[in-house]
Amino acid sequence: MQTFFRYNWIVREQWYQWCEGVPSEELLKARTGGVGSILKTLFHIADVEYSWIQFMLGGPDFQDSFEMYGSLDQVRTLDRRLRHDVEAFVTAWDSSMETRPLYDVRPDGTSEVHAWGEVMRHVIAHEIHHIGQLSVWAREIGRAPVSANLIRKGLIKPSV
């Protein structure tokens, strides 16, 4: 579990670095699919990761909109701020939390329940999925995307 979060954080940081070399018009340009722009995707990833973890913790909802963070620097700063709580939660994860229920009661009275372990994996897959979208948009503007390889990042040390 932690391995995938660390993978995602490394890849996300590499995308922020990639963004440094791209004009801000391209980062903000409306694109087909996903949430619509490169920078909005990075905001959305950080937002969704933080929001689910807040939901499990019973903390206040994160309701800021992308329009409040319209530049690369602002999104990165927000991400760094949210990461603090996310990282603490991920580091403290243990297997007893896997099936803990998360009740989601909607305003209309309907409800559903997720296992915390599902939610954590949902957050992981959510990021990787959106990063895949960035890789297509990168090629559309003629640039090589960040590698999505999980190997070669030193995430698990082989017992050699």
Q: Do 43 and 66 touch, CB atoms closer than 8 A?
A: yes
Q: Give the per-residue contact string, 13-42, with a second copy (x = CB under 8 A; - = no).
A: ------------------xxxx--------
Q: Give the per-residue contact string, 74-113, with a second copy (x = CB under 8 A; - = no).
A: ------------------------xxxxx---------xx
Q: Per CB under 8 A, does 151 bind a second copy?
A: yes
- Residue closer to a second copy by CB (options 61, 68) is 61
Q: Per CB under 8 A, does 122 bind a second copy?
A: yes
32-39 long-range contacts (CB < 8 A, ≥24 apart) are 33/133, 33/136, 34/130, 34/133, 35/130, 38/134, 38/137, 39/66, 39/70, 39/71, 39/72, 39/75
d(CA 96, CA 74): 36
Q: Per CB under 8 A, does 57 bind a second copy?
A: no
- Residue closer to a second copy by CB (options 25, 112) is 112
